[in-house]
C-alpha cells in the first residue's frame, strides 16, 4: 500500500485511537448457532488441528487457517463418450451487505437450491470511511473512490456474510477496490498498478481488525492470499494489463471478458479466460451480456425506468437467462456464466429474475451450480485433448453423433500411416 513504513505508523495510531472498540454488531447468538448448524461449523469441543472452532490466527487475527474449505464438490474426470455436466456460475460484483440484506438473502437461496456461488468482494467494503486514506489507488489521491464506503454497521454485516459464504462452500474473489471506469480509469492502468490494487484488496481483508479495532468479531475462516484466485475488473475494463500481472498475483482465472457460450480456454498467460457471455434478449434481434446491468441498459437505460414496464422487463430478463441455459444444456454443455450486483434497480426485478433462475435450474440432477474456483478445479482435472474437442462445439451445438460417440476417433484415412516393420522413424515427425 504505497509506503509500508508510513502505513505501519498510521496503523499504530489507529490501534491507539480504537482501543475502546466499537459497539458489538447486533448478531444474536441464536442466529450464530443456527448458522453453525447450517454450514457444518463445529461448536464446542476440541477439534483436532485448525478448524472453524479452533482456528490458527493469521496476522492481526482478521483471518485464520481453519482447515480445508467445507462443502466442496468432488472433482471427477470426464471420459470419452460421457456427457459433461452443465456447469452454471452465478457471480456477484461488489458483494457487500447493506440494509437491503441481499447478500444474506442469496446465501439462503443458494443453500436451498444446492448451489455454490462466487462473491467478488470490493476491498474498500471492509475499510471504514474514516480511514479511507489508507487506500492508495493508482494515479489518484489517497482515499479516492468512484463508489461509496460502507457504514460501520454494514462492514460488520459484510464480514458476517463473507464468513458464512465461505463455510457454505462458496468462493470469495475480488472486484478490486475503487471501481474506476471510463477514459481515465482502470483501462489506463499498468500491470504494476494492478499488482498494487490487488495487494491492497488482500490487505483490507487481512487487516480489518487492526483498522476497525473490533476484537470481538470472529476472524474470516480463510487465508485470503490462498483464497483469492480470480476476479472481475470494474466495468470489464483493464483486463489486458491485469492478465500480464496474473502470474505475479497467483490468479488462476479472470471473468472480465465479453464472450460466447463456448467452452473456456486459457490465455497465453496461462490464466483461465471465463468471460461473461452473450445470451438471447427475448423479443429483440440482438443478444445481451448475461448480467443484470446489461439487461437494464437495454430496457430502461442506465437507471430505473417506467414502473409499468417492470413486469415485462422481469420476464424478459428471466427468459433471456433461461434461454441461454437451455441453449447450453441441450447443446454443447458449455458452462453458463451469469453476473449480478446486489441492487434494487427497476424495483428489484433483476433480483427476482435471477432468484427464479437459480431455483429452477440448480436443483436439476445433471446441473452443477458452482463457484469459479470449483469450475477451474474441474477444468484443471480434465484431459486437455478432450477439452480441445469440447471447444470445437459452437454455441448451442451438440455433437453430431451424440455424446456417446464424442469425441469421434481419428479416422484411418486421416491418421498417419504406420511405419513398416523395422523402418526408421524420424524423431522430428
Mean pLDDT estimate for the chain: 87
Residues 349-362, mean pLDDT to the nearest whole number: 98
Whole-Å CA distances, 424 to 353, 412, 419: 65, 21, 8
Q: What is the largest CA-CA distance in the chain?
A: 85
pLDDT for 53 equals 72
Q: Shortest CA distance to 186 belongs to which of 138, 119, 149, 231?
A: 138
pLDDT for 192 equals 98
pLDDT for 163 equals 98
Separation of alpha carbons 28 and 75, rounded Å:
37
Separation of alpha carbons 402 and 428, rounded Å:
36
pLDDT for 416 equals 52
Judged against a pLDDT cut of 60, whether residue 411 lies above it is answered with: no
pLDDT for 234 equals 97
Cβ–Cβ under 8 Å, residues 346 and 313: yes
Residue-number span of the structural domain to which 383 is assigned: 86-392
> What CATH number does residue 377 fall under?
3.20.20.370
pLDDT for 149 equals 98
What total of structural domains would you count in the chain? 1
By percentage, how much of the chain surpasses pLDDT 90? 82
Separation of alpha carbons 313 and 296, rounded Å:
8
Residues 168-182, mean pLDDT to the nearest whole number: 98
- pLDDT tens for 211-237 read 999 999 999 999 999 999 999 999 999
In three-state form (DSSP H/G/I as H, E/B as E, the rest C), the secondary structure along 64-133 is: EECCCCCCCCCCCCCCCCCCCCEEEEEEEEECCCCCCCHHHHHHHHHHHCCECCEEEECHHHHCCHHHHH
Q: Cell 505501519: give the residue.
A: 8
Residues 312-325, mean pLDDT to the nearest whole number: 98
35 or 88, which is more confident: 88
Q: Shortest CA distance to 178 belongs to which of 235, 99, 218?
A: 235
Residues 3-28, mean pLDDT to the nearest whole number: 36
By percentage, how much of the chain surpasses pLDDT 70? 84
Cβ–Cβ under 8 Å, residues 163 and 222: no
Judged against a pLDDT cut of 80, whether residue 339 lies above it is answered with: yes
Phi/psi region, residue 201 (left: phi>0; alpha: psi -120 to 50; beta: rest), is alpha
Backbone Cα Rg of the chain: 23
pLDDT for 413 equals 40
Judged against a pLDDT cut of 90, whether residue 18 lies above it is answered with: no
Flag whether 417 is in a domain.
Answer: no
pLDDT for 32 equals 35
- pLDDT tens for 39-82 read 443 333 333 457 767 889 999 999 999 999 999 999 999 999 99
Separation of alpha carbons 280 and 290, rounded Å:
9
For the entire predicted model, the pTM comes to 0.84
List the grid coordinates of 263: 467452452
Phi, psi of 370, rounded to the nearest 5 degrees: -125, 170
According to DSSP, the β-strands at 272-273 and 253-254 are: parallel
Give the burial class of 152: count Cβ atoms within 10 A of its Cβ; 0-12 exposed, 13-18 middle, 19 or more buried: middle
Give the burial class of 111: count Cβ atoms within 10 A of its Cβ; 0-12 exposed, 13-18 middle, 19 or more buried: middle
Judged against a pLDDT cut of 50, whether residue 13 lies above it is answered with: no
Whole-Å CA distances, 176 to 135, 141, 193, 195: 12, 17, 12, 11
Flag whether 318 is in a domain.
Answer: yes
Judged against a pLDDT cut of 70, whether residue 15 lies above it is answered with: no
269 or 419, which is more confident: 269
Cβ–Cβ under 8 Å, residues 397 and 331: yes
Flag whether 169 is in a domain.
Answer: yes
Residues 329-348, mean pLDDT to the nearest whole number: 98
List the grid coordinates of 244: 500480464
Flag whether 409 is in a domain.
Answer: no
In the chain the first and final C-alpha atoms are separated, in Å, by: 52
Report the helix count and the strand count for the chain, using DSSP H and E: 13, 14
Flag whether 196 is in a domain.
Answer: yes
Whole-Å CA distances, 315 to 45, 144, 284, 286, 326: 50, 38, 14, 17, 16
Flag whether 65 is in a domain.
Answer: no
Flag whether 287 is in a domain.
Answer: yes
Judged against a pLDDT cut of 50, whether residue 120 lies above it is answered with: yes
Phi/psi region, residue 20 (left: phi>0; alpha: psi -120 to 50; beta: rest), is alpha
pLDDT for 409 equals 75
Residues 352-365, mean pLDDT to the nearest whole number: 98
Residue ranges of the alpha helices (H) in 207-344?
Answer: 208-212, 224-227, 239-249, 292-299, 310-329
Flag whether 330 is in a domain.
Answer: yes
Amino acid at each position: 500500500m504505497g509506503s509500508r513504513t508510513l502505513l505501519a505508523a498510521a496503523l499504530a495510531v489507529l490501534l491507539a485511537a480504537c482501543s475502546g472498540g466499537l459497539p458489538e454488531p447486533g448478531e444474536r447468538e441464536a442466529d450464530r448457532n443456527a448458522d453453525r448448524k447450517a454450514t457444518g461449523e463445529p461448536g464446542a469441543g476440541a477439534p483436532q488441528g485448525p478448524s472453524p472452532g479452533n482456528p490458527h490466527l493469521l496476522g492481526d487475527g482478521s483471518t485464520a487457517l481453519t482447515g480445508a474449505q467445507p462443502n466442496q464438490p468432488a472433482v471427477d474426470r470426464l471420459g470419452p463418450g460421457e456427457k459433461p455436466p452443465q456447469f452454471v456460475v452465478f457471480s456477484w460484483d461488489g458483494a457487500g451487505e447493506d440494509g437491503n440484506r441481499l447478500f444474506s438473502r442469496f446465501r439462503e437461496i443458494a443453500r436451498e437450491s444446492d448451489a455454490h456461488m462466487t462473491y467478488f468482494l470490493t476491498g474498500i467494503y471492509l475499510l471504514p470511511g474514516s480511514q479511507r486514506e489508507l487506500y492508495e489507488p493508482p494515479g489518484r489521491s489517497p482515499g479516492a473512490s468512484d463508489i461509496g464506503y460502507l457504514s460501520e454497521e454494514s462492514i460488520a454485516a459484510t464480514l458476517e456474510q463473507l464468513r458464512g459464504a465461505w463455510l457454505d462452500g462458496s468462493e470469495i474473489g475480488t472486484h478490486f477496490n475503487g471501481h474506476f471506469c471510463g477514459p481515465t480509469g482502470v483501462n489506463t492502468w499498468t500491470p504494476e498498478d494492478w499488482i498494487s490494487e490487488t495487494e491492497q484488496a488482500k490487505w483490507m481483508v487481512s487487516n480489518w481488525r487492526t483498522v476497525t479495532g473490533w476484537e470481538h468479531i470472529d476472524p474470516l475462516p480463510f487465508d485470503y492470499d490462498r483464497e483469492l484466485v480470480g476476479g472481475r475488473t470494474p466495468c470489464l475494463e483493464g483486463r489486458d494489463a491485469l492478465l500480464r500481472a496474473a502470474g505475479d498475483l497467483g490468479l488462476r482465472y479472470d471473468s472480465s471478458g465479453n464472450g460466447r457460450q463456448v467452452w473456456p480456454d486459457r490465455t497465453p498467460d496461462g490464466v483461465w479466460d471465463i468471460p461473461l457471455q452473450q445470451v438471447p434478449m427475448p423479443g429483440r434481434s440482438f443478444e445481451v451480456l448475461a448480467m443484470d446491468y446489461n439487461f437494464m441498459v437495454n430496457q430502461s437505460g442506465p437507471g430505473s425506468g417506467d414502473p409499468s414496464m417492470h413486469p415485462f422487463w422481469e420476464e424478459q430478463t428471466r427468459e433471456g437467462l433461461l434461454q441461454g441455459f437451455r441453449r447450453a444444456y441441450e447443446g454443447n454443455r458449455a458452462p453458463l456464466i451469469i453476473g449480478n450486483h446486489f441492487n434494487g434497480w427497476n424495483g428489484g426485478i433483476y433480483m427476482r429474475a435471477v432468484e427464479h433462475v437459480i431455483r429452477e435450474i440448480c436443483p436439476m440432477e445433471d446441473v452443477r451450480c458452482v463457484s469459479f474456483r470449483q469450475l477451474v478445479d474441474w477444468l484443471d482435472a480434465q484431459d486437455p485433448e478432450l477439452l480441445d474437442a469440447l471447444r470445437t462445439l459452437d454455441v448451442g451445438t451438440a455433437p453430431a453423433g451424440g455424446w456417446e460417440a464424442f469425441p469421434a476417433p481419428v479416422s484411418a484415412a486421416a491418421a498417419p500411416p504406420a511405419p513398416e516393420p523395422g523402418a526408421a522413424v524420424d524423431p522430428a515427425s
